[in-house]
Amino acid sequence: MMTPEKILYETEVTATGGRDGKAASTDDRLSVLLSVPKSLGGPGGEGTNPEQLFAAGYAACFLGAVKLVARTRKVAPSAEPSVTAKVAMGPVPVGYALAVELKVNLPGVEKSVAEEVVAGAHERCPYSNATRGNIAVKLTVVSGG
């Protein structure tokens, strides 16, 4: 188990009402309504859900790691890179589990070089470190040179 040697940032979010409730951070920068998707037996609704929030966090964090690795390896994409996180949830023998696919677009970068950058990002990203060995994470380079 990896634990930080030194805490550099900490945040706190409280959820109330479960999957049909709300979540808000103590600094008031995040405040979202939550709704159960119809595919999970809920009413749908205006709110987001934990899987979307996880996907947003993982995509943003992984993109930061991609940019860091590209910069340190002197790899310069021809346009702004992007990461799309696809988060799936389904039943396992006891409860439910998640699976993730990270689709990374590094415009103008040769595919083999992009794959090396993505592999390096996967070693460094805190979300990747948190999920490693716990959920399936598929890495896909969707664009290259």
Do 54 and 27 reside in the same domain of the chain? no
* DSSP state string for 51-106: HHHHHHHHHHHHHHHHHHHHHHTT---SS--EEEEEEEEEE-SSSEEEEEEEEEE-
Does residue 106 register a pLDDT over 90? yes
CATH number of the domain that 5 lies in? 2.20.25.10
Q: Report the percent of the chain where pLDDT is more than 70.
A: 98
Residues 14 and 59 in one domain: no
Residues of the domain holding 39: 1-48
pLDDT tens readout for residues 68-81: 999 999 999 999 99
Domain count, the chain: 2
Residues 106 and 60 in one domain: yes
